[in-house]
Amino acid sequence: MAFFIETMLGGLMTGMLYSLVALGFVLIFKASGVFNFAQGAMVLVAALAMARFSEWSNAALGGDSLFLANVIGIVGAGAVMFVVAWAVERFVLRKLVNQEGATLLMVTLGIAYVLEGLGQTFFGSEIYSIDVGMPKDPVIMFEGLFEGGVLINKEDFIAAALAAVLVAGLTVFFQKTAIGRALRAVADDHQAAQSVGIPLNKTWVIVWCVAGLVALVAGIIWGSKMGVQFSLVTVALRALPVVILGGLTSVPGAIVGGLIIGVGEKLSEVYLGPYVGGGIEIWFAYVMALIVLLFRPQGLFGEKIINRV
Residues that bind other proteins (CB under 8 A): 35, 91-92, 95-96, 99, 101-103, 105-107, 109-118, 120-121, 125, 237, 240-241, 244, 248, 276-280, 282-283, 286-287, 289-290, 293-294, 297, 299, 307-309
The DSSP secondary structure of the chain, one letter per residue, reads -HHHHHHHHHHHHHHHHHHHHHHHHHHHHHHH----TTHHHHHHHHHHHHHHHHHHHHHHTTTS-HHHHHHHHHHHHHHHHHHHHHHIIIIIGGGGTT--HHHHHHHHHHHHHHHHHHHHHHH-SS-B---S-----EEEE-TTTSTT-EEEEHHHHHHHHHHHHHHHHHHHHHHHSHHHHHHHHHHH-HHHHHHTT--HHHHHHHHHHHHHHHHHHHHHHHHHHH-B-GGGGHHHHHHHHHHHHH-TT-HHHHHHHHHHHHHHHHHIIIIIHHHHTS--HHHHHHHHHHHHHHH-TT-SSSPPP----
CB of 100 to other proteins, least distance (A): 8
CB of 305 to other proteins, least distance (A): 8
CB of 178 to other proteins, least distance (A): 30
CB of 249 to other proteins, least distance (A): 11
- The nearer residue to other proteins, 147 or 295, going by C-beta atoms, is 295
CB of 278 to other proteins, least distance (A): 7
- The nearer residue to other proteins, 176 or 308, going by C-beta atoms, is 308
- The nearer residue to other proteins, 44 or 150, going by C-beta atoms, is 44
Residue type, 118: L
- The nearer residue to other proteins, 62 or 277, going by C-beta atoms, is 277
- The nearer residue to other proteins, 114 or 158, going by C-beta atoms, is 114
- The nearer residue to other proteins, 24 or 299, going by C-beta atoms, is 299
CB of 200 to other proteins, least distance (A): 17
CB of 89 to other proteins, least distance (A): 13
- The nearer residue to other proteins, 60 or 282, going by C-beta atoms, is 282
Q: Are 185 and 177 in contact (CB under 8 A)?
A: no
